[in-house]
Structure 1
């Protein structure tokens, strides 16, 4: 798989292939019905995008699903537990309820959260956190084993797609949108790009 970069000289085009997004060749048909966000709760840029991502749901066609896949790109001691936490949420049907809260606990915890959960930086803190959410010790252990396997599987998927950072969005198996621009409100431009790509044939 490789990315085809297409440049445009048209000043009227707001979103430019090769700058705002990239086209995948060949198209990945197995992802044609979805938008996938590769992210991590410990990622500062993923945290920024989250402030604007709700607008995407308003423009999401019924036939297109939205999925988040955690990957480990930064310091392993922080990013791997955060990725495992994401899988545990999914495994127990808790993602929609606690997704945004996870960014707070890991990226900007309150003083008592920092003391008790320590940004979920170790397995022991993960267990305390999820038991506080209501998981039994047995359920947590089963979830942790599942999370480790999923992390390994999805790491290979990330490599196969030749992706290099977070947040990265794979749109309908055709387009890649990755990273944030340096200017203010870059997260708004990224989400606008995703909405634009949803409308392309």
Structure 2
């Protein structure tokens, strides 16, 4: 985990201040993105998938939100955007399980920003189920239902699936994006937030053309 946090810090120091001078240049395998040696099946067959791996405790993921959210909302119908929590133990696992619980309850989209704000700006840890439930109750989430879902067998299964996905994607830090289970890139390789979207757009077009 320390390596991941250090990696994220280095990305922040070297990338966020960079001008997007290469935004219009073609993305190249081995440079702006990595082509996975073992492609991962997508969750919705027939659609081009874009996965964002993130952690609520990552400040770079939080600052990426205003950039990626408007882009994701405008994606065409043949593209499926999904978030997958990165879980590497400790608070990563706790926050990831919280995200999956909220998603299963169908309320994640209502409280996603509030959870990020609580952890990043209000310095709330939100690593214990009761602590999560108390906070989420202030956001209109049923406390008992949250705790029951959080501790359910189904969510534990989803936690294991998310961990396996992270391994298959071979991520080393967050935020990271994966297009169609084949191409992985991040703020560092793509040249910053806008660069990430540029690379994603190019790879989406590439996969669409290959159909």
Does TM, scored on the shorter chain, surpass 0.5? yes
Q: Structure 1: where are the runs of 5+ without partners?
A: 1-11
The aligned counterpart of 1:119 is 125
Q: Distance in 2 between matches of 1:144 and 1:120?
A: 13
The aligned counterpart of 1:86 is 99
Q: Is the 8 A contact 1:35 1:67 kept in 2?
A: yes
Q: Structure 2: where are the runs of 5+ without partners?
A: 1-23
Superposed CA offset, 1:125-181 (max 9, x none): 112112333344431222212433321221122213322221121101221113436
Q: Is the 8 A contact 2:190 2:199 kept in 1?
A: no
Q: Number of aligned pairs?
A: 179
Q: Distance in 2 between matches of 1:86 and 1:28?
A: 22
Do the aligned partners of residues 26 and 149 (structure 1) sit closer, same or farther apart at CA in structure 2, a change above 3 Å counting?
Answer: closer
| More RCO (CA 8 Å, sep 6+) | 2
1:94 CA drift (Å): 1.2
Structure 1 residue 144 and structure 2 residue 150: aligned? yes
The aligned counterpart of 1:7 is none
Of 77, 86, 104, the residue aligned with 2:117 is 104
Deviates more, 1:63-72 or 1:138-147: 138-147
Q: Is the 8 A contact 1:77 1:122 kept in 2?
A: no
The aligned counterpart of 2:34 is 22
Q: Is the 8 A contact 2:111 2:139 kept in 1?
A: no
- Give matches, 1:31-180, under 5 Å: 33=47, 34-57=49-72, 60-73=75-88, 76-109=89-122, 114=123, 118-146=124-152, 147-180=155-188
Q: Distance in 1 between matches of 2:113 and 2:143?
A: 24
1:102 CA drift (Å): 1.8
TM-score, normalized by length of structure 1?
A: 0.76
Q: Is the 8 A contact 1:131 1:140 kept in 2?
A: no
* Secondary structure class of the residue paired with 2:140: coil
